[in-house]
Structure 1
Amino acid sequence: MPVSFYADNGETLPVHFQQSADENGYTISYSTLAPDLFTREFIIDPVPEYVWGKYIGDSLNTEVRGVITDRFGDVCICGMTQSIYTIATAGAYQDTITDSIGDAFLSKYTNTGAMIWSTYFGGPELDVANDVHIDTSFNIVITGTTYSPIGITDSLGHQDTLGGDADAFVARFNESGQLAWATYFGSDSLDVGMKLSMDFDFNIYLSGLTKSDTAIATDSAFQQNLMGKLMDLLPNLIHLESCNGQVIMAEACTMRPQELLLGILPCISPV
C-alpha cells in the first residue's frame, strides 16, 4: 500500500486501511480516529523529499542490505563490508575486521545523518547481515549468513556451534550497539537468514532459506521434513525468544526453487 496520512499545520496523523473485493470491483478504504477530518489534507503516496545521504566504507567493497528507522527517525543499517577503515567507531562491540573476504556490520545514525555508533560483526570467515529490525525498547536485531565457526555466538543462544558449511545467524544488540546475545541457526548444509520481524512480546520471527534436512523444524511444525531435491533452497520460518535467542517454533516450507521466501510481514507497528 502507498504511504497515506492526514496532514494539517505540519502534523501527520496515520490512517488505517482496509481492502475488500466484490462483484463491483476492488475497494480500499481508509479510516482514522482523528477529529475534523474534512479540515485536513489527505495525502496518498507523497513525493519523497531528499533529507540527507551518507557514504560508508573505504576503497574496498561495502554493501548495505538492510535499513530501518525507529520512531525518532534514527536509522540503522546492516550489510557486509571488506573495509578496514571508516566502519567501526570507538568503543564498538567489534572494532576490527576479522576476515578479508568480508564481515557483517551494523551502524546507527541520528535522524540528521550523524553516525552514533558502528560495529563489525563476524569471525574468521565470510559473514553477511541481510536484515535489521528495531523493537520499541530500541534493541536492534540482525540476521544473515555466516561461514565462521567462531566469533558469532555466545552461551545464551539456541545454537553455539556452526552446523554446516554456512548457517543463518541472529544477533541482538542493545541501544548502544553492544551484543546482548547471538545464535547460529542451521544444520548440516547451507542455511541463510533473510528477513526479520517481531511481535508485541519482542519475540523474533526469522524467514530464510535452508538446504539442511535435520535440526530445522520443531515438533508439531507445519512441515517437519525437507521435501525438495538435494539442491533446492527451501524457505523456513523460525520463532525465537527475544530475551535469550531460544527457539520456540521452527518449520520448513517447500516451494519450487524460483519461489523463495524473501520477506516476512511485520507483527507490530513501526517503532
Structure 2
Amino acid sequence: MRIMPLIIAAMAAGVCAGFVPEVTAAQVPEAAEYGSVTASSAVYAPNAAVDPPVGPKRNGSAKALSLDEIQRTAADVTGDGKPDMILLLGQKREAGSPYYEQLYVAVDDPPNKTYLLFRSDGGYTPQLALCDVTGDKVPEMLVSASTGGSGGTSNYYLYSAGGGKPVVLPTPKPLTITGSFQNGYKAKITVHETGKTYTIDLKDRKRIYEENGVYKKGKLVKPVDVSVNDYAELKPVDIDKDGVCELAGIQRITGVANADTIAYAHSVWKWSGSEWVLTSSQVVKAK
C-alpha cells in the first residue's frame, strides 16, 4: 500500500491514528545513533503545527519522501499503559522494486503528544516483531530485513521507546566460529565464545567430495576451511518463560562452496542491562 506523506500539522490537528510523518531524504535528526541506525523524537501540540524533520536541502528545496506502509500494529511500547500505533515504513527507489532503500519505524504516542521516528538501512521483505527483551515490562521493536544475497542472511535493528524516549539498542554479534575438514569425512567446528568443538559427520557427502577431489578414500586431499555466515535468523523467544524474551539466532555453516551447507550454529542471547550475554549455543548437522 502506497502511503503519501502527511504533514505534521495534520497530526497536530488530531490526525494521529495511522499517521505517516513527512520526512526528507537523509534528514532525520540523529538524537540517538548506533551504526547506521538513527532515532529521533518531536513534540506536537493540539493546535500548533510542528515542522517535520528537516536537514540539508537539495537545489534549494527538501524533497519529501513517499513511503510504503509495510506493517502496522498497536501496542504500548512507551510504557504509559495506553496503546501506541507502530508503523513499519519503507522507501523504494523504484515503485516496482522489492528492495527498500531505507526503513522507518514510526511510533505515535497520542497521550504524550509525541511521535518517535527510527531509521535504518533497507533490505528485502522487512518485518517488525515486538517483545520485551530488556525486562522493563515494555516491548521493544525488532526490525528484520533480508540482504537478498546468496548467503541467506538478514540485518536486524532493535529499538526501544520506553518512557517516550527513542533508543537504539545493539543486537548480539554473530558467533565467532572456525573449523576445517578432517580425514575420515568429517569437519571439526569450534565456537570461540564457549571454546567448545563439534564434530560434524560428512559421510553422506562422500560421493560428491570424492568426485570433486576433496577426499580420496577417506583421506583429505586438500585443506578446506569452513565458512560461517551472519544471522539467517534472529528472533525474540521467551525460552525460560519469565516474561522476558531472549534473542535466538541461527547462522549457516558451509564447506567447499556456499551451496554446501554442512551445519547450523544456534545461539541464545539474554540482555544483561548493558550488553547481550550468550546463555547457550550449539552446532548441529544440516539435514
TM-score over 0.5 (shorter chain): no
More strand by share: 2
TM-score with structure 2 setting the length? 0.39
TM-score with structure 1 setting the length? 0.41
For the pair shown, the structure with the greater C-alpha radius of gyration is 2
